[in-house]
Amino acid sequence: MSRPVLDESRIHPAVRARIATHHADIVQEVQAAVARNAVVVVGMGLNPMPKKARAALDAARVPYTYLEYGNYFNEWRRRNALKMWTGWPTFPMVFVKGTLVGGASDVQALIASGELKTLLA
């Protein structure tokens, strides 16, 4: 899979560092959680989809780590850094064994098909 990302040579040197460090703390926090935990759900408040993903994992008795960053009214810039890092446009972001598997409907499908158990084995 490839997606268009602006080549670094097309970014003026004066702004490269700003881009590279844009809310790097949140990306590093998620990377650390993903490295330490088999299942990580990254969500936001007031959004029903992270709740659906968590409910599906709870019903399947799959332990997970939940990270929540703001809601519709705050922390959108920090969440945007996660979207830029992953390329995933919405929340939640669900990671299984270090791999982004999608959002709530995607994790529900993995549970229903039995593939989530395979991924966790």
In a domain, 6, yes or no: no
Rounded CA-CA distance 121/118 in Å is 5
Residue 2 lies in a domain: no
Asked whether residue 1 carries a pLDDT value surpassing 90, the answer given is no
CA distance 18 to 29: 19
CA–CA dist 102, 42 (Å, integer): 11
Q: Decide if 48 is inside a domain.
A: yes
pTM, rounded to two decimals = 0.95
Domain count for the chain? 1
For residue 101, give the CATH number of its domain: 3.40.30.10
DSSP state of 91: S
- Encode pLDDT of 74-97 as tens digits: 999 999 999 999 999 999 999 999
Give the pLDDT mean for 90-110.
99
Amino acid identity at 111: I
What is the predicted pLDDT for the residue at 8? Answer: 94
Residue 37: give the domain boundaries. Answer: 11-120
Residue pLDDT, tens place only, 22-47: 999 999 999 999 999 999 999 999 99
Helix spans in 22-96 (H): 24-36, 48-59, 76-86
